[in-house]
Amino acid sequence: MRLKKNLALSDSGFVFDPSTGDSFSTNPIGLEIVKMLQTGKDADEIKAQVVKTYLIDEVGFEKDYYDFVNTLTKLKLSDGSPEKKD
């Protein structure tokens, strides 16, 4: 998935969608993933980065990742295009 390009992110985990006026709160790892999605990283790259940084294996992270991405879609933060690197 790709996120809306105009999302505003703060370092404290505050996410603002200027197109709807909605705001969101995410935890540090969520913010990291959102940032990576914004830069166009795909699932494999994100998984590799998280497994490298955090105490979690790939299998453990995978289900949480897809759950998080589905939540982003439900919250209408996706731009609707399939996951693909630019």
Partner 1 sequence: MKKLQYERPVIQRLNVGVMNKFGNKTEYSPVKHIEGNTVKSLIEKFGSPLFVISERIIRETFKDANRAFKTRYPRVQFAWSYKTNYLNAICNVFHQEGSWAEVVSGFEYHKALKNGVPGTKIIFNGPDKSEADLKLAIEKNSLIHIDHLDELYLIKELAVEMKKRPRVAIRINMDTGVYPMWDRFGFNYENGQAWDAINKIMLNDKMDLVGLHSHIGTFMLAPSAYGVAAKKLSDLALEIKKKYKKNIQYIDMGGGFASKNTLKGSYLQGIDSTPSFDQFAEAITTSILNAGFVENELPLLILETGRALIDEAGYLLGTVISNKRLSDGRRATIMDFGVNILFTSFWYDHKISPAQEFSRYTEDAVIYGPLCMNIDVIRENVTLPPMKRDDHVIVHTVGAYNMTQWMQFIALRPAVVMIDTQEKVHLIRSRETLASIEGNEIIPRYLEKFKL
Question: Is the Cβ of residue 29 or residue 40 nearer to partner 1 in the bound state?
Answer: 29
Element (H, E) at 77: none
Question: Is the Cβ of residue 40 or residue 62 nearer to partner 1 in the bound state?
Answer: 62
What count of other Cβ atoms lies within 10 Å of the Cβ of residue 37?
22
Question: Shortest Cβ distance from residue 29 to partner 1 (Å)?
Answer: 5
Q: List the structure tokens of 50.
A: 């998280």
Q: List the structure tokens of 38.
A: 């914004």
Q: What is the DSSP letter of 79?
A: -
Binding residues vs partner 1 (CB under 8 A): 13, 15, 22-30, 33-34, 53-56, 60-61, 64-65, 67-68, 70-72, 74-75, 77
